[in-house]
Amino acid sequence: MNSSLSDSSLQDRRDRHRSKSRDSSSRGDKSVTIQTPGEPLLDAESTRGDDRDDNWGETTTVVTGTSEHSISNEDLTRATKDLEDSTPLQCKRFIGPVLGGCLSFFALITPLAFLILPQVLWRDDLEVCGTPCEGLYVSLAFKLLVLLISSWALFLRPPRATLPRFFVFRCLLMVLVFLFVASYWLFYGVRVLEPRERDYRGIVEYAASLVDALLFIQYLALVLLEVRHLQPAFCLKVVRSADGASKFYNVGHLSIQRAAVWVLDRYYSDFPVYNPALLNLPKSILSKKITGFKVYSLDENTTNNSTGQSRAMIAAAARRRDNSHNEYYYEEAEMERRIRKRKARLVVAVEEAFTHIKRLHKDEATSSPKHPREEMDPREAAQAIFAPMARAMQKYLRTTRQQAFHSMESIISHLQFCITHNMTPKAFLERYLTPGPTMQYQQQNGGGRQWTLVSEEPVTSALRQGLVFSLRRLDFSLVVTVTPLPFLRLGEEFIDPKSHKFVMRLQSETSV
Amino acid sequence: MSFVPGQPVTAVVERIEIQKLSQGPNLVLGFCIGGGIDQDPGQNPFSDDKADKGIYVTRVSPGGPADVAGLKIGDKIMQVNGWDMTVVTHDQARKKLTKKNEHVVRLLVTRKTLEEAVKQSMSRPGPS
């Protein structure tokens, strides 16, 4: 068994999956098989094993999807997902920022060029310009510095999303800057370079006015790109189509594509991770469906009215007594109980495991030579205490269908992290007891996630009431509904602090 | 109506019997009560002792059953059908008066003029 683990080809993977599942369930308390990183703890088939429990050998039949050398559907989707998730960096995503960077560099160089060119080309002809020019030089220098710093602070950030259409405001601003600088150059070329203008002070003032104008454009950019959408105006309801997880967010005035990016930012840290294994009702409940009423029409001259027939069948099915809700209820209760039992075992196992190690302080390092203690670094300590809790952890993860998210390697490294930071067993377990946000399970790669924005309106139009768009991923989508925030009429009522007075209740009078 | 704390309350009472009148589904007596141990006794315009938390008659509707039976405004009700009314809450008093299955209420009421009348008759030389 262990020798086959050393290969990592796709073919052996499936063998390993199946052999591993039987292996770990029977030998989990005696030995630990260390695997190559990235391997899930249990095989892919167990995500479909609704009817699999501890006694799988003696009760129900287990449906397995793979044979020795075929590839299951889930392997395929997983392979494509991995491939897509780790696409290499696309060049397309850097075009916008690079263009903007070039433009702003050009715009910043321009005033300096305006000043330097006359000096270089016709220095002798220039009129001497004393103190006023020097004052202008100082102000020009500081304004350029401010422009530089604020451009760095605001705009020089790696882009976080590529939008399907042009980002209207950004394009507008770039066009504005370009036109501005181009028209200044035009004027400069025609009026200064050609006739070799001698009034140097005028040229310096002209450069200073360009820098002022650039500052104002930057103010405009700040307002349009950063500030305008800060005041909340709409309430977005985001619902995940697969399992109904929903959240409400307040956003300002944004276009649909910007709002989509905003929502996706929040999605990764607010929504619990999408677990496809948790979705379906057990097949045993759903399978007792209509066995079918056959409808025969005895009339010879009626046409075959199929809608009438199907309607009759549906009505008949609705009138039947359907007890599947009963089974669903009991199944749910049973599942709850099982999860609680496994959770209790897991918590006890982890607590016990954590008592096996303790932190070595520096002054205890020189202990008596009679009892030499083996010093371990966090990784070894984690591996040492992982063994007693491995089985309970694996069973718990399997019951809550989370085993696809946590590989053994990830559990050991999380354990190492917790030990290093002096966390209690409960802190270690919080990652496994509740399904965290999707960010927790992301591997860091530069490829980025592919989402598709589906909308009936053009995606650069602004948000307004009643708009609905959805963000689609491979197997689920987020449906976003827009409602405006209500207008608040705030009134005022002044209460004099001296007006708080009390009396005994008046004699009440009752008529009899 | 003297009230010495710790001593039993003594009063001169008049017995009044009121026949309830049925107005639609209700039986009415035709007067209003005020007072009770859960009310503010200082607001009572009819009592001498402003700490008296008894049940007083505050209004009598003219021509009603109470008026016919001789109940006067300002009377203090001591008993209703044998139930004590001197130490009851307002709502308890109302309930004792408006029992649906009773058509007659016999009240023991007291007023200041009764005491004075008794004093006068005692001070006058009685018939030998």
**B43 touching A (Cβ < 8 Å):** yes
pLDDT of residue A78: 55
Looking at residue B6, what is its pLDDT? 84
Handedness of CA B118, B122, B125, B126 (dihedral sign): positive
pLDDT, tens only, A8-56: 444 444 444 444 444 434 433 433 334 334 434 443 333 344 444 444 4
Q: What span, in angstroms and rounded, lies between the C-alpha atoms of B73 and B47?
A: 11
Q: Which tokens is A496 given?
A: 């004099």
At A47, list the tokens: 């995500």
A77 vs A406, which has greater pLDDT?
Answer: A406
Mean pLDDT of B18-41: 89
CB contact under 8 A, B39 and A507: yes
Q: How far apart are CA A179 and CA A187, in angstroms?
A: 12
Q: Write the pLDDT tens digit of every residue in A439-450.
A: 777 765 555 788
> Does residue A339 carry a pLDDT above 70?
yes
Contact yes or no for B32 and A512 at CB 8 A? yes
In 3D space, the residue among A46, A21, A144, A159 whose CA is nearest the CA of residue A99 turns out to be: A159
A290 vs A294, more confident? A294
Q: Which of A38-42, A264-268, B61-65 has the lowest mean pLDDT?
A: A38-42
Decide if B52 contacts B3 (C-beta within 8 A).
yes
Residue A62 pLDDT exceeds 80: no
A378-399 and A425-433 helices cross at what angle (nearest 10)? 40
Q: Indicate whether B80 pLDDT > 80.
A: yes
pLDDT at A211 over 90: yes
Tell whether B20 lies on the interface with A, counting CB pairs under 8 A: no
Do A88 and A159 form a contact (C-beta atoms < 8 A)?
Answer: no
Percent residues over pLDDT 90 in chain A: 32
Of all residues in chain A, the one with the smallest CA distance to B21 is A512
| Residue from A502, A505, A506, A507 to probe the interface with B (highest B Cβ count within 10 Å) | A507
Dihedral sign, Cα of residue A375, residue A380, residue A383, residue A387: negative
Q: What confidence score (pLDDT) does residue B4 get?
A: 77
Can you tell me the mean pLDDT for A378-403? 90
Residue bearing tokens 């270089």: A120
Q: Do residue A512 and residue B97 have CB atoms under 8 angstroms apart?
A: yes
CB atoms within 10 A of CB B107: 24
ipTM value, please give it: 0.74
Where does chain B have alpha helices with state H? 65-69, 90-97, 112-123
- A454 Cβ partners below 8 Å, 6+ apart? A469, A470, A471, A472, A477
Of B32, B35, B90, nearest to A511 by CB-CB distance is B32
- Chain A residues bordering chain B (beta-carbon distance below 8 Å): 503-512
pLDDT of residue A29: 41
pLDDT at residue B60 in the model: 93
Helix, strand or coil for residue A324? helix
A506 to B40: CB separation less than 8 angstroms, yes or no: yes
- Distance (Å, rounded) from C-alpha A208 to C-alpha A111? 7
Chain A environment of B90 (Cβ under 8 Å) = 508, 510
pLDDT higher than 80, residue A317: no
Q: Which residue has the tokens 């009603």?
A: B64
Q: What is the 3-state secondary structure (H, E, C) of A172-228?
A: HHHHHHHHHHHHHHHHHHHHHHCCCCCCHHHHHHHHHHHHHHHHHHHHHHHHHHHHH
User: What is the pLDDT, as a whole number, of residue A509?
Assistant: 83
Given a cut of 90, whether residue A327 has pLDDT beyond it is: no
Most confident by average pLDDT, A113-127, A149-163, A267-281, A344-358:
A344-358
| Host H or E run for residue B76 | strand B76-80
Nearest-CB residue to B40 (from A504, A509, A512): A504
| Predicted pLDDT of residue A323 | 74
Whether residue A342 has pLDDT greater than 90: yes
Q: What angle do CA A215, A216, A219 make, to 5 degrees?
A: 90
A367 pLDDT above the threshold of 80: no
Residue A366's pLDDT band (boundaries 50, 70, 90)?
low
C-beta separation of A165 from A257 below 8 A: yes
The tens digit of pLDDT for each residue in A453-497 reads 999 989 889 999 999 999 998 888 999 999 999 999 999 999 999
